[in-house]
Structures are given as C-alpha cells and as structure tokens.
C-alpha cells in the first residue's frame, strides 16, 4: 500500500469502521494478532500496519522523525479509502498515534495509546525524572553510531528476546512469539530503521526541528482518548505515563492493568481487547 512516498505492508480483517493498529519496538504488525480477530468479530475493519523500515514496509534512507512517521499513518488511512480511523498505538506506535491526532485531527476518530505517554510528557520525564531516564537507558544507548544495530542483530537478535522478557510481566509472550520477533529484526536494515526514530527523539531535543515539534505538540488532543498501561511496566513507568491527560481536551479514560508489563495486549490479550472494544463501542466514553 502506497502512502507518503513509501510502500507499507498491512494485515487486514473484518468490515466496519476502521481501527488502525500501530506496533512498537522491537516488534511488527504481528504483535496485534489477537486484537485483529477480536476487533473483526466486534464489527470493525481492523488493520495492523508495519511502520516505515520494519516488517514488510519500505526501508527508506530518511523519514524517521515523528512528524513524517505520523504522516505515514494518516496516509495509510487515506489509501484505505476511509474518512478517518480509530488509532491504537503501543510504545513507539503510541508516540506516533499521539502525534497524528495532533497533526491530522480530522483523520483520527478516536485515540487509544498503550505503554507510552504524550510526546511532551515523554520528553519531560526522560530529561527530569532520573528513574524514568534510567528505565529508558536503552534509548540513550541507541545514540551511538552503528554499535546498537550490531548489538540488536548479534546472535540471531538475542537482544530482542532479552528486552521483551525483561519488559514483560508474568504473562510474557511465549518463546515461539519471541523467536518470530527475533527473526523479523534480522531482516537487513531493520535494526537501523528501528533505532532511527529514537535517535531523532533524543538528538533533536536541542535542535530547531525538535523544539518546533515539541512546541507543535502543545496543541490539545481533541478526540476521545483511552490510555492503557501495565502496572509492572519497567520500560515506561506508570508515573511518567499518567500525566498525559493534561494534553487532552476531550473525553479521557485511564486503565491500569494490574500485574502486566510493557506488552499488555500480548500478556493478557482478552482483557486488553475487551477494554478496547468496550471503549470503542461506548457512545459516551467519558463516563
């Protein structure tokens, strides 16, 4: 599927209002396999896309800043022939979903974000909260040239499996699932493309483009928003994420999953899908 100057791989099932699912690091569209079928059964057109540089999507030499990645997402909505979509994003996909809701509000019907605060909240937490900065130490490590890419793919991407296990709660993805994520990371150029968004997020903090982006994200989110988080998430602390409501001027709902880690949609897919679908179907989501 062509959008924003690149081609994107999607997985699609069901008919009805569009729900577009956005994966995070170090995963690809397959992370949403449980939600795709659950949403389709509930009467939605469920689509999971591979972000630029990951899975079956194009690995372009440039275009990994959040503004451009958000345009990838809204471009896919248009290419699917839909007037708008409910965006569901996890981790980096959540960061980009926040961004898309601010940059192209007419194309975003509702917003659901898991395991990721609003971009301004993320920036503040990483710079001023030592505990969050330490929890996100892998992001600081990504700023080195070339070495992080080599580390990610070494020993058949063993680091991918280690990160997923460390970030998960007791209901962590099974060994077979982790093996699939490891194999996906070893596709040529995937490691580099996966890291580039995080390099921009850090390196741009003091640059004009990053300052402009941060200023642009002051604009309030004006669509109903659901925020989902695992209470045991060691990569993105609950305190860092919970302050995101100040950037939403619309019905907002917070849901904390007790005993789950950074991947609640895989650790307890039934509970996650139920929460998401009930909210999507609620005509008064601020209750």
Mean pLDDT by 10 residues, the chain (287 residues): 97 98 98 98 98 98 98 98 98 98 97 98 96 96 97 98 95 88 98 98 97 98 98 96 95 97 96 98 81
- Which residues share a beta bridge with 13? 46
Number of H helices and number of E strands within the chain?
Answer: 13, 9
pLDDT at 287: 53
**Residue-number span of the structural domain to which 100 is assigned:** 2-281
Q: Is residue 117 part of a domain?
A: yes
pLDDT at 203: 97
Q: Is residue 129 part of a domain?
A: yes
Q: Is residue 29 part of a domain?
A: yes
CA distance 64 to 198: 9
Q: Is residue 233 part of a domain?
A: yes
Q: How many domains does the chain have?
A: 1
CA distance 140 to 182: 22
Specify the DSSP element, H or E, that contains 71.
helix 66-79
Kindly give, in sequence order, each residue whose CB lies less than 8 Å from that of residue 216, ignoring residues fewer than 6 positions away. Answer: 67, 102, 103
DSSP track, 136-190 = THHHHHTTSSSHHHHHHHHHHHHHHHHHHHHH--TTPPPHHHHHHHHHHHTSTTH
CA distance 169 to 258: 10
Name the token pair of 39. Answer: 């949403």
Q: Where are the beta strands (DSSP E) in the chain?
A: 2-3, 6-7, 10-13, 18-22, 45-49, 85-90, 108-114, 225-230, 252-257
pLDDT at 172: 79
Rounded to 5 degrees, what angle do the CA atoms 251, 255, 261 make?
145
pLDDT at 285: 80
Q: Is residue 286 part of a domain?
A: no
Name the token pair of 123. Answer: 């920036």
Q: Is residue 51 part of a domain?
A: yes
Query: What's the CATH number where 209 sits?
Result: 3.40.50.1820
Q: Is residue 287 part of a domain?
A: no
pLDDT at 227: 98
- Cα distances (angstroms) measured from residue 71 to each of 91, 137, 158: 18, 28, 32
């Amino acid at each position: 599927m062509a959008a924003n100057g690149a081609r994107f791989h999607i997985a699609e099932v069901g008919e009805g209002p569009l729900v577009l699912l956005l994966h995070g690091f170090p995963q690809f569209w397959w992370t949403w396999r449980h939600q795709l079928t659950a949403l389709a059964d509930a009467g939605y057109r469920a689509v999971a896309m591979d972000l630029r540089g990951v899975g079956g999507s194009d690995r372009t030499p440039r275009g990994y800043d959040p503004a451009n990645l958000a345009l990838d997402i809204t471009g896919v909505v248009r290419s699917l022939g839909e007037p708008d979509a409910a965006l569901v994003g996890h981790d980096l996909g959540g960061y980009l979903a926040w961004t898309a809701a601010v940059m192209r509000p007419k194309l975003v019907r509702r917003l659901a974000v898991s395991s990721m605060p609003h971009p301004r909240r993320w920036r503040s937490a990483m710079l001023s909260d030592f505990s969050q900065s330490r929890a996100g130490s892998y992001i600081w490590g990504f700023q080195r040239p070339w070495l992080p890419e080599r580390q990610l793919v070494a020993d058949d991407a063993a680091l991918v499996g280690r990160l997923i296990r460390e970030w998960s709660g007791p209901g962590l993805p099974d060994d077979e699932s982790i093996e699939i994520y490891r194999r996906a990371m070893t596709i040529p150029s995937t490691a580099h493309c996966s890291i580039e968004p995080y390099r921009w997020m850090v390196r741009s903090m003091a640059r004009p483009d990053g300052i402009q982006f941060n200023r642009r994200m002051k604009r309030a989110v004006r669509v109903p928003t659901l925020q989902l988080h695992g209470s045991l998430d060691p990569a993105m602390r609950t305190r860092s994420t919970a302050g995101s409501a100040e950037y939403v001027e619309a019905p907002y709902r917070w849901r904390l999953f007790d005993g789950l880690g950074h991947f609640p949609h895989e650790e307890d897919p039934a509970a996650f899908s139920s929460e998401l679908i009930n909210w999507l179907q609620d005509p008064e989501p601020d209750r």
